[in-house]
Every structure is written in structure tokens, then in C-alpha cells.
Structure 1
Amino acid sequence: MTKTISFCRATFRVESPTSVAAATLPIKNAVDLRLDRDASGAIHIPPSTFAGSLRNHATRVHGEAWTNSLFGFVADEDDGSETKARASSVWFLDSSVTHAKVEQYVATAISRHTGAAKLGTRRDSERLLAGATVSLDLRIDERLDDLIELVTTWRPVVGRNRSNGYGELAVERVDYGSVDLGTPEGLAQWLSHSGPDLVSEVVRAHSATVAEASNEAQAIDLQMQVVEPWTSDPVKDEGEDGHKTYRLKTNADGLPRMSAASQRGVLRSSISFILTTLESPLRCRGEACEHDRWECRVFGHGGAADGVGRRSALTFRESPIVDGVSAFRTRNAIDRFTGGAARGALWRTEVVTEGMVHLRIEYRSVSDADWQILLAALRLVIVDIQDGFVRFGAAVASGHGRFSVTTSTTGDPDADLMTLLAARTLLSPKDEVSAP
């Protein structure tokens, strides 16, 4: 019986910041969330990270039965007498990252009560910037054509912070080939190479055509204009005169950027405040919540009583401020005892005084009922943004971060309040029972 072994190498382009964190213990004065690295110190994305993403893609395209036949399954009999299992036909062998650029950044959680940074949640993290190249090696002994068809139409999302637009990869190239161990040439190839070198040798044979990527997500768009100075996540820099200077962080094009996490935190806090004001059963009840309510389904949560969390159904993206005008504002700390200026506490902060920013909220797995509630809540938030009650960025208590919404795709604002109040009819029976 002739044995044929096939390999496939998929090459991806990193399209958004990616964070696959290492499982390390916290170290004082060190980065809290470091990127995973291999023994040589190079950035590493474990092959197992891709396994779930490819299986989910197969399920969406071909259904669960087809997917189980290729990727295996574990299932219990109805009477619990035995467990049936089948191993996956696809082996995830190795992955590598090249042209990697790593950025260290600071983030905090957003308090749902104040809408500002939550005390004690500051963390330093690392992320792999867009533009890197990732290669993934796969092995399959049967159904090579099925695997190639899957990989060429795949658009994986890996790592953490996916609701902030992280971890998006695009397939650039798919190479594949087979080794026939029944021939002298194939046997020599098999015995004279090993590991990634063997895959490189075999996949030279063929290259598949990559399908054009399609974005299945729908989106809400908000176009906002800076009304009062905005600043966020500044970088500390000692000025020429010795005074502390905080400069804006910029993207690869040199434009100031509003982080996705900031957008998500502020908008969720604002919606939660509205739901609480209306005494709505849709709101998350914090530690007392069973995490089965609308807010938990749409925005996700960190874990219920069983410790299992839920990823947000929404995706926010980092937004550059375009046509911006920046300036430095000089400030001085106030002495709490004298009420005068504190000695040696002068600093400068770079702010954006003019500009436009485009916020985009993508959604993939939101039901029609949940979607209508989200639109209604966002329309109310837009009113608060226009009135200056909802602000973005740092120093909002000092009058910073006010924007004006110039255009939005949330629809007619006349039915905002009525739609939200009528949301009780859109709840599941479990929500109705748990409603206060």
C-alpha cells in the first residue's frame, strides 16, 4: 500500500495589531502582557492558535458534519454509556513570524460608572504591529484538495483583544505538495529532510490561487468633529527646558489615534448608564449578574459563576484623527494646602484642537432584536455626545475630549426612547424572569 503525505504552507499578512500573550507570571517593573516568544526570543504564534479559527471557518462554509469528518470530534452517546471520538486529519505543525515590529503600550479599564479610567487597572502590554508576515505549516494525508479550498478562502482572526480589531490576518500565498513514500525519489526526500526544511522542500511543487477576501461584517459609522481639545495615551518626553512634556501617540502615517479600547469603554459605559437610568432589565448587574442579559450578550463579559467569559459581538477599530491641528497646552499642578501653584510641577500636554475622526463599529453575530436595541441606545448616546456629557480621551474633567457627531448611520432619532423602553418585548423568557 502506497503512503502519500501532503503538506501545505499558508503565508499571511498581519493586517491589524495582534496580541498572542505569553503565559508568564507577573514580574515587578516588567511588561504585564508580553507577546509569546520561542526559545530564541523571536515572536511566536503557536500553531494551535489557528486550529479553532480554521475549524470555525469550515463549519461556516460546509456545516458541522463535514467539519467533523475532517477535523474530528468527541461526542457522548445519549445514554452516557460511551464516548465516540475521531482524530483530526489535519496536523498543525509549525508557524513563524517575520518582519515583526513590536510596540509597547499602556492601557486601563474603563469604569462603567464614571466613564473614566478605572483605578488600579493600568497595565503595560505588547502587540505585534500590522505588516508582519506569518507562515503556518499543515500536514494532511487525505483530502488535500478540501484543505486547500478551505485555506485559500480563510481569513483568520487570532489572539486576544479581537473586539478592539486585533488579530486580523489575510492569506497572501498557499503552497502545497505531496511526498509519495512508494517511490525512491519520495522516500529519499522524506529521509533527507525534516521539520520546516521538509515542508519547504515539498511545497515547492504547487501554488494555489487565493480567493479575494470578503468582509462579512456589517457596520455602524459615526463621523465626529473635535469641539474641545482632545488628548489620550500621551508619551512622556523630557522637554528641552527640563519640563515634562506629554506627546500624542501616532499611527504609522503620523496621525494621532483614538484607540479602539477607549471607544468601546466609553460607549459601553454610556449605554450602561442609560439602561440603569431607565431601570431596564437589559443592563448588566455586575458581580450579581448571571451574564444572560442584553448588555452581556452584545458587549461580552469576563466570566459568569462558572468562570466562562464571552467575547463581545462588536468590533471597534483604532481611528486616526485626520485634518488635525495640534498644539501644546501648559499646565501646573495645584498645591492642595495653599491653593496655589505647586513648585516644580509644570508640564506640557500635546492636544488636538481641530480635526475629524471616523468611528466604525462592526458586528457579525448580533440578532435582529439585539441589533434594534443597540441602534436605539447609540442614538441616545449621540445626543449626550452632542451635549458634551459623553467625552473621549484624557482630562475630560478639565474640559477636554468633547466632540460633535456630524454624520451617523444609526437611523431616525425620533423613536430612540420608545424603542428602548419597548425592549422588554424583545427579551428572552429568561430575561423577563430575571428582570427587577
Structure 2
Amino acid sequence: MRFSVFKNTVLFPIVIGIVLLISCGNLSKSEVRSLKPEVYETTENNPVIVGANQTELYLPLLKGKRVGVVANQTSVVFKAGSLEPEARSFSHLVDSLLALQVNVKKVFAPEHGFRGQADAGEVIKDGVDTRTNLPIVSLYGNNKKPSKEQLQDLDIVVFDIQDVGARFYTYISTLHYVMEACAEQNIPVLILDRPNPNGHYIDGPILEMEHQSFVGMHLIPIVHGMTIGEYAKMINGEKWLKNGVQCELSVIPIKNYDHKKTYSLPIKPSPNLPNDKSINLYPSLCFFEGTNVSAGRGTDSQFQIFGSPFLNAEVFPYEFTPKPNDGAKHPKHKNQLCFGKDLQQTKNLSTLNLNWLIEAYKNTADKSQFFNNFFVKLAGTQTLQQQIEQGLTEKEIKATWSEGLEKFKEIREKYLVYP
């Protein structure tokens, strides 16, 4: 097993110049929402520069090789020097690599697809990208792990997807299977790292392996506080891949980043996370996906509101009616009036909030119908549901997590690239 993190000691100014001149008009307005390009998204004077923008470090690793790319709509290279939102100054990584004469053979697409338009849970089909004519191999649905045949014409696989730092966000499960498949075929994996917008805290119950699934594969808490690159190092180092195999792994690190920096995503990481508030609330509100309560799918406030027809309207006076839209063709409680709470003006969280879930359970019409089988998969344990049903408070529940979190933090420390 070999792992390396590249330092920015080699400069290829000509290459940089080519990359910065690449056209950027490939994403739709609905996919872009930030006022500034990603390389400027930082509260400090030094800009955060994502791995994909450091072409001088990874282009030499790809030249002359047959390349596969695991990517979606967030896999972009940003052009520095423009703060105008209308400029949309970025290019998709795949387009950039092709323009630089890299031999990209195929694209692997995670949940929501290569261009990020599919519903959560929707089966993604293989196909051809109409912009590049490259074959697209789905890694969501029946084929979550690249097959030997799908990898046989590749010399290296590049992984570049923006994550949001929650165990049940399936991009890290895709990462696991890509690493595992490549390790089995002796194909190196190169990760272009990106910041974790929820990287400033760690919280939640540790997964119990009897509840392992695609929305929870590893012995980690719900909010893990790691970037994709750091997380890949942990998967490798802890030998979580099948039969303990280890992947030949390299990471292009983020410049000027630490876990406490506020980081705003300029491109939606998935259709139902439209803005910073939804991303911040997602780890807490995703629990509702395992209940009869809507987390706002089918509205314009996804993961910023919650409600259901079964909640007490006097306790939850906020009203909304889910309707089919982009990313939610069949939303929960479609066309039904829901009573709930609007969280759009709440302060940003630095911890999981269980009080909304507890409050909803206490005020639902039929408690026996509140939880569904998906809840245990999301929580990674049966205990949380039992604790809520028994009437434990948030403080009492979180006290039971403390030992597991401390052990996880000790393991996590070994794999951190950033302070």
C-alpha cells in the first residue's frame, strides 16, 4: 500500500495558464448558486484552493495513462480572478482533462448521476455523456462497485466529488467501493480533495456493523469531520476494504484550508441540498427520512423545514404542501397539507439537533406509525429509536454517544491532513 499527499513544490505555469483559460459555460443556472467562485470561498485572506484547481500537481500523474473519472456536477475546475457570479468561471473536470489531452476513457457516476439531476434513490442507468461522448458507468443501483471488466482498460482512476460530511450521504460509500475495486485490480486512485462544509464538528452514534448499508458502511459517527481525502486515508489505514486490501492512494490536498473555516458550496452537491442552510441542517433533518415526516422534499426549502399531515397543528403551525419538482418526482405526502416548523432562520449548527425529532415524535397522531425501517439504517443503530420511544432527552441520548465519539476522534487524528 502506498499513500502520498502532494505538496505544492512544483510549478507548471504553462499548464496553469491553459487551465485558467478553459471555457466555463457547461453548468445550468440551477446548478450554480454562489456569489463567488469556490477558490475564493473563505473567511480568511488566503483563498481556499481545491485539489482540482492544482493541475500542476496531478497532470503529470495522468499524462500517457488511460484515465477513469468518478465525478458529478460538483467536479469542476475554477478560474481565479473573477468574482462576478454571471461569469460562472469554471469548467467541468472532465472537460478540462480532455482539453489538456488527457486520455479520459470513461466516467463513473454516483447517486444523482453525472450531471446531478436524478432523485435521491433513483436508479442511475449507464449511458453516454452527450457533451463529451464518453461512456458513463453508473455506480448507483444494482452496480455500486466497478467491475473488473469496467476497470480493465484503465491505468488510474480519479475521484473528485464534493461531499457534505455525513455518514449517510452516499458519496463516501461510492468512494469505498471504488477504492476496493481498484485495490483488487492494482489500479491507483487519485483523489482531488475538497473542503467539508460540515467539517467543524463531530457528532452522532457510531455505526453498529449489523446495521451496515449503503447509507452507512463504516464504524464512524453520523458527522465525521473529515474531507473526502482524509476519509479515504482512514478507509485504507483501518483496512475497511473487503479482505483488508489496501488501495494505492494519492491525494491532492486543499490549499489554505482547515476544519474550522466556513466554506460555502457554489454548486449544489445534490438536488435537494440547494444552499448553505440546507447543508448545515442536513445531518440533523435527514433522520426524518426514516419517519413519516417530510424534510421538505417537493418544496423550495428542502432540508430547511419539516412537517407532516399527522403532526399537531397547534404545536406546529407552519404549513407547506409537497409537490413534484426537480429532485423529488414523488415527494413524501405529495399534495397533502403538512404541519411543521420552518428552520430557515435558525443559527447554524455545530452539533446534531435531536430536539426536532423528539418533539415531532411526541406530537404525532399515531406514534406506532412514526418510524419506518429506514430509520435504523440512517441512525446506524436501533438504540436511538428506542431511546426516543422511551422518552429520553437529547442530553441523555447524547451522553450515551460520548465514549464511542472519543474513540473515533483518536482514530480520526491519525488520518488528518488539515488542522
- Shorter chain as denominator, the TM-score bin is under 0.3
Q: TM-score under structure 2 normalisation?
A: 0.23
Higher strand share: 1
Q: TM-score under structure 1 normalisation?
A: 0.22
